[in-house]
Amino acid sequence: MGRYRYATLLAAGAVALDQATKAWVSASMEPWTGFPVIPGFFNLVHVLNRGAAWGFLNSEHIAWQRPLFIAIGLVALGLIGYMLKSADRSDRWLTTGLSLIAGGAVGNLVDRVRLGVVTDFLDFYRGDWHWPAFNVADIALSVGAGCIILSMLLNRKRDDARKPS
């Protein structure tokens, strides 16, 4: 399978899973509600986030955050496309990482364009400490970043091995 087809299928799969889970949460729970799945560790919640990662700029009083985050998402997709085109064709980790980041960006971008907010629903916690709620698109973004870091480490190791002593 060609890398563009692979990248498209992987990104589309991330978007589809993200949007399906968000639709299920939206149909199953009212906003700002939730229930424990693993008491003391994990809840399913229905949170509406106007901001970025970890609720950065999450305020209904900031009128410009929606167009800003839509623009950032579109610019990021352009950069990802450029990086994919420029990448070594044999670097599957980089292709996978860029694809997952594109899928995560599109998943959250769809929410921003359609609803003006991003639906988050995974709430991990310990005691009173809660990790900020997140969604499948955020998982794709994080795993994609991890794949890119792994690609960089493997390429560095390969490049170091090729250097003459």
Q: Which of 18, 111, 123, 138 is catalytic?
A: 138
Q: Note whether 95 and 84 are within 8 A (CB).
A: yes
Q: Note whether 86 and 71 are within 8 A (CB).
A: no
- The β-bridge relationship of strands 129-130 and 42-49 is unpaired
Q: Which of 18, 111, 120, 123 is catalytic?
A: 120
Q: Is 91 a catalytic residue?
A: no
Query: Three-state DSSP class for 54?
Result: helix
Choose among 1, 10, 5, 4: nearest CA to 99.
10
Q: Note whether 70 and 109 are within 8 A (CB).
A: yes
3-state secondary structure 63-100: CCHHHHHHHHHHHHHHHHHHHHHHCCCCCHHHHHHHHH
Report which residue type is found at 37: V
List the catalytic residues: 120, 138
